[in-house]
């Protein structure tokens, strides 16, 4: 059972307070590594080896060679752990997230915060002092993976938050990759039309609720800082950056303040992306840094990239929650939704209780239309555990007839990071109806509950487990 939110120190809006409280409440789910680790791939190797053993603990690495800060990662690698952040079980996570995200709160400006402990400006800025690690052998070099860029509209003050991989380019500049169809890119083009650079702040490490809010998929003009307030149940506390006055979390680990010149270009990539492939696709932007702010006891809160659980879940959870809410509101037949890690961001499973023929196909078409990343949707009956690839594959094997239950739509916009997409970034999308259908003739072989309980009791006794 998840412990109450109060036990996880959300009121502090502080990653340190959260991790300390979580370690006290769930010590079995935190792995602290005190042995020296290389900053070249050792952290990724640890995460990969743990995942291969079916483990996804919150990982604290206290001694990374060449880093003056401890490293914390894998925060979002476990849905059970994210559920604990909200005080709910994993199967209630979507509803809990949406309930809070749908009740946004405007942020509150404060005059002090831990991120103001150390402020370096102008010629004193040296990004060689900023902790970052190399994640994959194919990466061009060390990267900041948990880089949330904050840009405020100069007229309305409404901010956009978005994640952007970033690497050192010069003593006071980062090479970063913007998304050419994203909101930050749109703001950069507006600044370019005015003949100006775009002032921004980059937040590297903050409370998990801020990180989740930065992943939210919201319309242009919605300030994700208000979503963070909704997740906290209290206004997000912000301090203003010294030069441009951008509102950033008061207790963030690091904040870099500067500007993006729309005409500047820098070599960036390859970098290991969520697809499991290294990506050179990039807008090759340059962020010139004027100010570095950080806590006195700052941590590097890292997100291991590539096809690993944290990277995938952090980016996907707000999208899953939104899709689940939309689908259930429009189609009462929908019982559950799941984006499996095995499909990176490109696969989705949906479980249904159909009331009429064709409903599964209609729901799959809605999903493929709503989510621009999706390539493949599988519909199954509600007795299939969609968190289990094995059960979904069994449903395909026993319920699906390709000539009847498959459809493909071609020539749609897809993810620019999909290595199988066309040079223009288009992709095809597929729906697989693996539901039984009204005319299905088969009785599922099951073991009765009483026999299962007797088997559990027998095995527990043999293992010395007390019930």
Count structural domains, the chain. Answer: 2
- What percent of the chain has a predicted confidence (pLDDT) above 90? 71
Same domain membership, residue 211 and residue 124:
yes
Residue 141 falls inside a structural domain: yes
Residues pairing with 30 in the sheet? 58
Structural domain span for residue 408 = 331-433
**Residue indicated by tokens 């990653």:** 15
Q: Examine the fold and report which residue of 304, 322, 355 is the final residue of a domain before the chain moves on.
A: 304
Mean pLDDT of the chain: 91
Residue 265 falls inside a structural domain: yes
Residue 315 falls inside a structural domain: no
What is the rounded CA–CA span in Å between residue 290 and residue 108? Answer: 24
Residue 273 scores a pLDDT above 90? no
Residue 399 falls inside a structural domain: yes
Segment of 152-156, 349-353, 356-360 carrying the highest mean pLDDT:
349-353
Same domain membership, residue 231 and residue 119:
yes
Q: For residue 443, what pLDDT is reported?
A: 86
Confidence at 1, pLDDT banded by 50, 70, 90: very low
Mind giving me the DSSP string for 372-420?
A: TT--EEEEEETTS-TT-HHHHHHHHHHH--HHHHEEEEEEEE--TT-TT
Same domain membership, residue 147 and residue 275:
yes
**Residue indicated by tokens 């800060």:** 69
Same domain membership, residue 215 and residue 152:
yes
Same domain membership, residue 389 and residue 276:
no
Name the pairing type of β-strands 376-381 and 334-338: unpaired
What is the rounded CA–CA span in Å between residue 344 and residue 292? Answer: 34
Same domain membership, residue 262 and residue 338:
no
Same domain membership, residue 149 and residue 298:
yes
State pLDDT tens for residues 106-140. 999 999 999 999 999 999 999 999 999 999 888 89
State pLDDT tens for residues 160-209. 999 998 999 999 999 998 876 789 999 999 999 999 999 999 999 999 99
Q: For residue 175, what pLDDT is reported?
A: 92
Same domain membership, residue 221 and residue 256:
yes
Same domain membership, residue 341 and residue 297:
no
Residue 69 falls inside a structural domain: no
Residue 151 falls inside a structural domain: yes
Residue 108 falls inside a structural domain: yes
Residue 13 falls inside a structural domain: no
Same domain membership, residue 268 and residue 134:
yes
Same domain membership, residue 354 and residue 279:
no
Q: For residue 2, what pLDDT is reported?
A: 47
pTM above 0.85, yes or no: yes
Same domain membership, residue 237 and residue 180:
yes
Mind giving me the DSSP string for 59-121?
A: EEE--BTT-SS-EEE-TTS-HHHHHHHHTS-GGGHHHHHHHHHTS----EE-S--GGGSEEEE
């Amino acid at each position: 059972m998840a412990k109450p939110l109060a036990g996880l120190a959300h009121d502090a809006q502080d990653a340190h307070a959260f991790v300390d409280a979580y370690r006290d409440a769930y010590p079995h789910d935190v792995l602290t590594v005190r042995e020296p680790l290389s900053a070249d791939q050792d952290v990724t190797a640890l995460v990969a080896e743990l995942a291969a053993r079916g483990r996804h603990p919150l990982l604290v690495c206290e001694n990374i060679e060449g880093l003056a800060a401890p490293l914390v990662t894998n925060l979002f690698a476990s849905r059970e752990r994210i559920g604990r952040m909200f005080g709910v079980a994993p199967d209630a996570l979507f509803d809990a997230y949406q309930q809070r995200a749908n009740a946004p709160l405007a942020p509150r400006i404060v005059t002090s915060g831990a991120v103001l402990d150390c402020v370096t400006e102008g010629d004193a800025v040296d990004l060689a002092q900023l902790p970052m690690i190399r994640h994959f052998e194919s990466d061009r070099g060390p990267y900041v993976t948990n880089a949330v860029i904050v840009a405020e509209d100069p007229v309305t003050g409404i901010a956009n938050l978005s994640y952007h991989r970033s690497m050192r380019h010069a003593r006071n500049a980062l090479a970063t990759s913007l998304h050419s169809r994203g909101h930050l890119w749109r703001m950069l083009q507006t600044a370019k039309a005015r003949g100006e650079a775009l002032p921004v702040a980059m937040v590297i490490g903050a409370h998990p609720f801020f990180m989740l809010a930065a992943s939210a998929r919201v319309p242009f003009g919605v300030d994700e800082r208000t979503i963070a307030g909704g997740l906290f149940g209290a206004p997000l506390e912000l301090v203003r950056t010294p030069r441009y006055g951008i509102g950033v979390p008061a207790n963030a680990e690091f904040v870099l303040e500067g500007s993006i010149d729309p005409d500047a270009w820098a070599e960036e990539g390859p970098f290991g992306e969520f697809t499991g492939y290294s990506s050179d696709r990039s807008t090759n932007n340059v962020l010139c840094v004027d100010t570095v702010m950080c806590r006195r006891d700052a941590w590097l809160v890292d997100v291991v990239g590539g096809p690993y659980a944290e990277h995938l879940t952090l980016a996907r959870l707000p999208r899953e929650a939104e899709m689940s809410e939309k689908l259930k509101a429009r189609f009462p037949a929908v019982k559950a939704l799941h984006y499996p890690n095995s499909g990176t961001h490109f696969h989705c499973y949906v479980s249904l209780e159909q009331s009429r023929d064709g409903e599964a196909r209609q729901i799959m078409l809605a999903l493929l239309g709503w989510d621009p990343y999706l390539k493949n949707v599988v519909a199954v009956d509600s007795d299939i555990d969609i968190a289990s690839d094995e059960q979904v594959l069994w449903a395909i094997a026993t319920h699906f007839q390709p000539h009847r239950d498959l459809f493909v739509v071609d020539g749609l916009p897809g993810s620019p990071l999909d290595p199988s997409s066309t040079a223009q970034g288009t992709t095809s999308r597929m729906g697989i109806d693996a539901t039984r259908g009204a005319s299905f003739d088969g009785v599922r072989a099951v073991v009765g509950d009483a026999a299962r309980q007797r088997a559990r009791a027998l095995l527990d006794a043999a293992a010395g487990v007390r019930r």
